[in-house]
A and B are shown apart, each in its own frame.
Chain A
Amino acid sequence: MNFVSEKLIGGRQGAINLLVLCALLVVVFPLALDPFRLNMIGKYLSYAFVAVGLVLCWGYGGILSLGQGVFFGLGGYCMAMFLKLEASDPISTRIQTTPGIPDFMDWNQITELPAIWLPFQSLPLTFLLVIGVPVLLAFIVGVAMFKRRVGDVYFSIVTQAIAAILAILIIGSQGLTGGVNGITDLKTMLGWDIRTDEARLTLYFVCVALLIACILFGRFVLTSKLGRLLVAMRDKEERVRFSGYDVANFKVFVFCAAAGISAIGGAMFTLQVGFMSPSFVGIVPSIEMVIYAAVGGRMSLLGAVYGTLLVNYGKTYFSETVPELWLFLMGGLFIGVVMYFPKGLAGLYDSHGKKWLARLTSRKAARITVKAKLSGMEAAK
C-alpha cells in the first residue's frame, strides 16, 4: 500500500469518509447556502481546528488542555494586529490625535506604536508568528510540566489558570490589545477587501483547504509509530518509558501540534469574521471547544469537524429561539457525552450507523443466503 493511500487517506474506508466531508464542505454548503450563512459555517470551521487539535492531544495523547482558547486567541490576535495596522494607515486615521496608529491606542492617549506591534507590519512575518508564538508558548508550558511529570489533572487545572491569566491580561491592557472589546474594524489584507461577499467566499475555501490539510497532518501523525506510542502512553505510560522513550518529548510534541492547529483556526476566524476579542481566550470558551471534540468523538479527526458544526449550529439556533434553554442543553451535553456517549458521534457511527448501512445493502444478499441454506438442508435430508 503506498504511503499516500495508507497513511494519509486511511485506506478505502478512510478515503470514503474524507470524501464525504469534502463533498459536504466544498460542494453542498457553498451551493445550498447564501453568503451570510456560508460565512457562519466558515466561522464554525475555524473552531473545528481547535477540535481537531484536541483529538490529537486529548483523544490520543490523554492531555486534556482546558486552555486551547489561548492558542486560538493568540493566532487570531496576531492576524488581527496585522489587519489592524493596515486599516490604521495615516490617511484613514487622519482625524486621530496621532494618526497612523490603531484607534483604541489613540483613545488611550498612546502616541507611538508599541514595540510588540512592529513585527506585524509584515504579512510573511505575521504568518510565522501566528503559528510560532502559540507553539512556543505550548513548548514552554509543555516542557515545564511534562518533564516534571505533572499529573493529568494538575495539568488541566494549570491550563485553565493560564487561560484565565491571559484573558485578564488582554482585557487589562486596553492600550496594547484593545481591551475587552478586542481588535475590531478590520478592512483589508494587502489591499484586498476582506469584507465583501466574494472575499468571504474565497476565505471560506481557504479555511476548508487548511482544515483538510490539518486533518491529513493529524492522520499522518496518528498512523505513524508516534500515534501508536500515544495510544501506548495513554494505556501504560511507565512501560513506554521502560521501552526506552522519553515520554515527555512526545507529550510536548502533540501539545504543540494542537496549539499550532488551533492558532491557524484563530487566524482564519479573524479573517472571516473581521475581529478578535478576549472572549475567545478565557476558561469558558476553552472548555466549550472541548465539547466540540467530545461530541464529535474525541478519537476521530473527522468527527471533530462534525461535532463542531453540530454544537455551534445548535448554539446559534437555540440562542435565538430559547436562550435559557441553551445553557441547560450545553450542560446536559457535557454530562451526557461523558456518561453515555464517550465516543461521540463517531462512536455512534461505528456501532450503529455502519451496521444500519450494511443492513440496507445486504438485505438482498441475506435473502439469497437463507434460500441457499434452506435448499442445502433440503438436499441433506
Chain B
Amino acid sequence: MSWLSEFGGILMMQGFNGLSVFCVLLLMALGLAIIFGQMGVINMAHGEFLTIGAYSTYLLSSLTTAYAPALQPYYFFGAIVLAFLVAYALGYLVERFMISHLYKRPLDTLLATWGLSLVMQQSFRSIFGAKEVSATLPDWLMGSFQPAEGIDIPLNGLFMMALTIILTGTIFVLLYRSRWGLQVRATMQNRMMSGAVGINTRKVDRTTFALGCGVAGVAGAAFTTIGSTGPTSGSLYIVDTFLTVVFGGAQSLIGTIVSAFSIAQTQSTLEFFLTGSMAKVLTLSTVILILLMRPQGLFATKLRK
C-alpha cells in the first residue's frame, strides 16, 4: 500500500527534521542536567551560553572568510572547540563570582541567573546588533544523503547527530569512569564528607558548572547549522530544556536522553499536523501533565529518604 510507505516516509522525514532539534535540545539538556542534576543549581542563563557559542562560531566564520578563505572547509571544527572554550571560561567566571555565593539558595540562584541572562542578551545586542546573523556553513555540510527513493536526510543533521553522540559518550565516560566524575558525584551526594576526604569541592563545583556551560556552547555551534543567531536565540530553548531535564529525572543522564528524544520527536511530528505554536503547546502541556502524575521524572533513582 503506497500511502503507508508515503506516510512512513513523511514520518521519517519529520523524524529526521526533528533530529536536528533533538540534537540541540539534547546538548542543552545535557549541559543543564550536569548543572542542575549534579549541583542543584538553576541556570536561567543557560540559553545565553548557547548563544555565545553560536556567536563565537559566527565570529570565526567571518574571520576565516575575511583572512583565511583557504581554511573555510575546516574552520567549523575549530568553531566547535572555540565555542566550548568561550562558554567554559565564562561559566567558570560566573560560578566564581555569582553562583558560589548563592549555594543553598536555589530560588535566588534562579533569579540571579535570570538577571545574568538579561545582561548577556543586552551585551549581544550591543556588540553584534539586534539583527540576526548567520555563519557561513562549509560546503560539505550542505546537501543531503539519499539512502532510498523519496527519503532525504540532510547532511548537517547527520553531522550534528555524530557530534551529539560523541559528546554524550564523552560526558558519560567523564562522569562515570573518570576520577573527576567520581569527585563530582561524591560532592553532589555528600558535600561535607567529600570535603573531609580532601576533595576541593569549590573547584569541583566550578569545573562542573563550567563544563555544563561549555556543552551549551557546543550546542550553540551546532545551532548555527539550523538557524540564524540573534540576541534572544537562546531563550527560545530555555523552557524546553528545563522541562526536558526535569521530565527525564534530573539526576539521570539516560533519562535526559530519552526525555529529549521524546519531546523533540513529539513536537516535530505534531508540527506536521498542527501549527508550530499549537504543537509546542501540546507537547509542553503533555510533559507538565505527566510531571504532575510523576513528579520525580521518568528515570528517578530512589534514594533513602
Q: Determine if A157 and B243 form an interchain contact, defined as CB atoms under 8 angstroms apart.
A: yes
> Which residues of B are interface residues toward A (Cβ below 8 A)?
40, 42, 98, 101-102, 106-108, 110-112, 114-123, 125-126, 239, 242-243, 246, 275, 277-278, 280-281, 284-285, 287-288, 291-292, 295
**Which residues of B have CB within 8 Å of A324?**
122, 125-126
What separation, in Å, do the CA atoms of A157 and B278 have in the docked complex?
Answer: 20
Within 8 A of B (CB), among A19-75: 62, 64, 66
| A346 interfacial by beta-carbon distance below 8 Å | no
Identity of the chain B residue whose Cβ is nearest the Cβ of A340 in the assembled complex: B101
Whether the pair B118, A165 counts as a contact (CB closer than 8 A) is no
A330 touches B115 (CB 8 A): yes
Instruction: Enumerate the 8 nearest inter-chain pairs by beta-carbon distance, A residue then B residue, closest first.
Output: A334-B115, A331-B118, A331-B119, A327-B122, A335-B115, A331-B115, A338-B112, A172-B277
**Does A188 have its Cβ within 8 Å of any Cβ on chain B?**
no
- How many residues on the A side are at the interface (Cβ–Cβ under 8 A)? 43
By a CB distance below 8 angstroms, the chain B residues around A168 are: 277, 280-281
In the complex, A287 Cα to B123 Cα: how many Å?
20
Tell whether, in the assembled complex, residue A338 and residue B122 are in contact, meaning their CB atoms are under 8 Å apart. Answer: no
**Beta-carbon contact of A160 and B242 below 8 Å:** yes
A16 located at the interface, meaning its Cβ lies under 8 Å from any Cβ of chain B in the complex: no
Assess the A144–B292 pair: CB atoms within 8 A: yes
A161 and B110 form a contact (CB under 8 A) = no
B119 to A328, Cβ gap below 8 A?
Answer: yes
A172 engages B278 (CB within 8 Å) = yes
Of the listed stretches A112-120, A145-153, A205-213, A250-258, chain B binds A145-153
Collect the chain B residues with CB atoms within 8 Å of residue A165's CB.
281, 284-285, 288
Residues A334 and B239 in contact, CB atoms below 8 Å apart: no
Kindly provide the distance from the CB of A251 to the nearest chain B CB, expressed in whole angstroms: 14
Asked if A148 and B292 make an inter-chain contact with CB atoms under 8 angstroms apart, the answer reads yes
How far is the CB of B302 from the nearest CB of chain A, in Å? Answer: 15
A residues in contact with B40, CB < 8 Å: 153
**Is A148 touching B242 in the complex (CB atoms < 8 A)?**
no
Chain B residues near A81 (CB-CB < 8 A):
none
Q: Offer 7 A-B interface pairs, CB within 8 angstroms, sorted by A.
A: A161-B242, A161-B243, A165-B281, A168-B281, A172-B281, A327-B119, A338-B112
Do A331 and B292 touch (CB < 8 A)? no
List the count of A-B residue pairs having beta carbons below 8 Å apart. Answer: 112
Asked if B291 and A158 sit within 8 Å, CB to CB, the answer is yes
A294 contacts chain B at the CB level, 8 A cutoff: yes
A331 touching B117 by the CB < 8 A rule? yes
Contact of B115 among A64, A160, A169, A332 (CB under 8 A): A332
Residues of the A chain whose Cβ atoms lie less than 8 Å from the Cβ of B281: 165, 168-169, 172
Please name all residues of chain A whose beta carbon is closer than 8 Å to the beta carbon of B243 when the two chains form the complex: 157, 161
Given contacts A149-B295, A324-B126, A327-B119, contact A161 B111 (CB under 8 A): no
A301 within 8 Å of B (CB atoms): no
Contact A158 B288 (CB under 8 A): yes
Known contacts A64-B107, A327-B121, A334-B118: A153-B112 contact under CB 8 Å: no
Question: Known contacts being A327-B121, A331-B119, is A338 close to B111, with CB within 8 Å?
Answer: yes
Residue of B nearest to A162 (CB): B288
Interface residues of A in 290-344 (CB under 8 A from B): 290-291, 294, 324, 327-328, 330-339, 342
Residue A171 CB within 8 A of the other chain: yes
A77 and B126 CA atoms in complex are apart in Å by 35
Contact code string A132-157 (vs B, CB < 8 Å = 1, else 0): 00000000000011001111111011
Chain B CB within 10 A, most for which of A64, A151, A335: A335
Is A164's beta carbon under 8 Å from chain B?
yes
B122 contacts across to A, CB distance below 8 A: 324, 327-328, 331
Chain B residues, Cβ within 8 Å of A276: none
Min CB distance, A314 to chain B, in Å? 14
> How far in angstroms is the closest Cβ of chain B from A190?
36
- Measured CB to CB, the closest approach of chain A to B102, in angstroms, equals 7
Inter-chain contact B102/A338, CB cutoff 8 Å: yes
Shortest A70–chain B CB gap in Å is 13
Contacts of B119 in A (CB 8 A): 327-328, 331-332, 335
Question: Do B110 and A156 have beta carbons less than 8 Å apart?
Answer: yes
B42 and A154 contacting across the interface, CB-CB below 8 Å: no
Q: Chain B: which residue is nearest A141 at the CB level?
A: B292
| Known interface pairs A148-B295, A154-B295, A162-B288; A334-B42 also in contact (CB < 8 Å) | no
Quick one: which of B111, B118, B295 contacts A290, CB cutoff 8 A?
B111
B108 / chain A contacts, CB cutoff of 8 Å: 338, 342
Rounded to whole Å, the gap between the CB of A233 and the closest CB of chain B is 15
